[in-house]
């Protein structure tokens, strides 16, 4: 309220100037009591003219190209341009040149971009990567290179059309150089290059290896001209092929059904009626004896169905393979196979399972069934885990898919069975807990469970 009161009834000596770049955030009640002046952005030329007046009054030796770089860097802000000019004058002892201005403002010279574009158009991938390494050694980060090169490509694209030449904002004396580059570069390449650079710049922050990210973009740009050439060539080939197909649709002359050497009878039978020479629109008619024509195929004959054709092909390609005769399953052959499978387990470093297979007893019930006798549930578990693979190899060896076996746990314990194969997991833990009482305390504190 106090502010509004002051605005409505200001003192005679007070003039309020409210400057802002966000007019939409000011209250409407305040805007209604103000005279609004919308300022436009200061152009680069206007900034250069004002800076030239200042350096002339202050007797400062400054090149116009250096002042243009300062104006471009300030982006239409006169305050920033004056601040930059003051700093550069103090840094350069009152002698402003194009090169020292670029050096102090950390701006990459356009000469590097001209060289880079020439290397990319020549598909010199190694030269482009070496030039980027040289730029990187000068202290320019990858995002500055991407942004500067994208702006450079945009300026070259603008020079392609004389109507858009007014949009070119470069240092004085560089216009002719940009136009020369635009004359030897295709519009498709420039647009595609801008697209690649834009995608690379968007993904630059997310890239972990930023140098590799930029080098990958340079590799794409190196082969971009070749890709565009191939695309154009494929388009021409496709267009030519379409024209050839249309030409092939022309009407072909009807082949004569009569033999090349006509017999006298045929010559007598064929009596064409000549058209009147005075009438050019009358069509000639041809009368042919039906007895001389070859017989037409019978169209009423039933064609084989698709199912019959498939059956015929399957019947031709199907060959009956003879089933090999099953080998007899004997105690000696079973023991030999069992020992071989135990050796496979040892090669696979399944020593516990291999030990179980060594102490297991085999009893042959008949030619299609046998029993494996073990003395502990742990041993039964090891054999059951290998049962699928064991049966598959056994049935293929004896050519008999009917072979099966069962695992039987005997009540008595054999003396030659190792202790770790006779005990279950709980029995092993209880046995160790008697020797090492701290194991039980560790189990209780960590709330562990025994794996069965």
Model pLDDT for residues 321-347, shown as the tens digit of each residue = 566 777 888 888 888 888 888 888 888
Query: CA-to-CA distance for 336 and 305, rounded, in angstroms?
Result: 56
State the pLDDT at residue 98. Answer: 86
Low-confidence ranges of the chain (pLDDT < 50): 237-252, 254-284, 413-415, 452
pTM for this predicted structure: 0.46
Query: CA-to-CA distance for 67 and 49, rounded, in angstroms?
Result: 9
CB 121 within 8 A of CB 225: yes
Containing 366, the helix (H) or strand (E) segment is: strand 361-366
State the pLDDT at residue 271. Answer: 44
Report CA torsion sign: 277, 278, 282, 287: negative
State the pLDDT at residue 150. Answer: 92
Backbone angles phi, psi at 95, to 5 degrees: -125, 100
Length of the chain: 452
For residue 130, give every residue at least 6 positions away whose Cβ sits within 8 Å of its Cβ, in sequence order, or none: none
Domains in the chain, start-ordered, CATH in brackets?
Answer: 2-31 (no CATH), 44-104 (1.10.8.60), 108-228 (1.20.272.10), 331-417 (3.30.300), 419-452 (no CATH)
122-137 as b/e: b if 16+ CB within 10 A: eeebebbbebbeebee
First to last CA, the chain: 82
DSSP alpha helix (H) spans, 123-223: 125-137, 142-158, 175-183, 187-202, 210-222
* Sheet with 369-374: strands ordered across: 361-366, 369-374, 404-409
SS3 280: coil
Helix, strand, coil % over all residues of the chain, rounded to 5: 60, 5, 35
């Amino acid at each position: 309220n106090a502010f509004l009161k002051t605005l409505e009834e200001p003192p005679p000596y007070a003039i309020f100037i409210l400057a802002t770049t966000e007019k939409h955030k000011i209250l409407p009640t305040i805007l209604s009591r103000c005279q609004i002046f919308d300022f436009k952005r200061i152009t680069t030329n206007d900034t250069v003219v004002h800076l030239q007046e200042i350096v002339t009054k202050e007797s400062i030796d400054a090149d116009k190209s250096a002042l243009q770089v300062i104006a471009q860097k300030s982006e239409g802000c006169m305050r920033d341009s004056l601040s930059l000019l003051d700093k550069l004058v103090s840094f350069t002892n009152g002698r402003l040149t194009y090169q020292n201005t670029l050096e102090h403002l950390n701006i990459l010279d356009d000469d590097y971009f001209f060289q880079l574009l020439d290397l990319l158009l020549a598909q010199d991938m190694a030269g482009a990567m070496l030039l980027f390494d040289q730029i990187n050694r000068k202290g320019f980060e990858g995002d500055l290179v991407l942004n500067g090169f994208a702006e450079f490509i945009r300026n070259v694209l603008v020079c392609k059309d004389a109507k858009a030449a007014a949009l070119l904002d470069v240092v004085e004396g560089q216009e002719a150089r940009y136009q020369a580059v635009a004359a030897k570069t295709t519009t498709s390449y420039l647009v595609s290059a801008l697209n690649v650079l834009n995608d690379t710049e968007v993904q630059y922050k997310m890239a972990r290896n930023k140098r590799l990210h930029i080098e990958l973009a340079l590799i794409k740009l190196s082969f971009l001209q070749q890709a565009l050439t191939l695309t154009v060539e494929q388009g021409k080939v496709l267009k030519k092929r379409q024209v050839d197909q249309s030409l092939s649709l022309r009407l072909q002359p009807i082949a004569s059904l009569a033999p090349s050497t006509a017999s006298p009878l045929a010559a007598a039978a064929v009596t064409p009626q000549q058209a009147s020479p005075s009438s050019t629109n009358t069509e000639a008619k041809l009368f042919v004896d039906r007895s001389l024509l070859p017989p037409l195929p019978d169209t009423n004959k039933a064609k084989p169905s698709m199912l019959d054709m498939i059956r015929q092909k399957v019947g031709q390609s199907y060959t009956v393979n003879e089933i090999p005769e099953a080998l007899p399953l004997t105690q000696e052959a079973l023991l030999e196979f069992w020992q071989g499978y135990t050796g496979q387990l040892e090669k696979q470093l399944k020593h516990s399972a291999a030990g179980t297979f060594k102490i297991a007893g085999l009893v042959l019930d008949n030619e299609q069934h046998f029993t494996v006798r073990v003395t502990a549930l742990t041993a039964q578990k090891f054999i059951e885990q290998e049962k699928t693979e064991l049966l598959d190899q056994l049935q293929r060896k004896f050519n008999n898919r009917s072979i099966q076996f069962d695992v039987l746990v005997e009540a008595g314990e054999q003396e030659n069975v190792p202790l770790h194969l006779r005990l279950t997991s709980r029995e092993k833990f209880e046995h160790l807990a008697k020797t090492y009482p701290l194991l039980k305390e560790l189990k209780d504190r960590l709330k562990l469970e025994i794996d069965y």
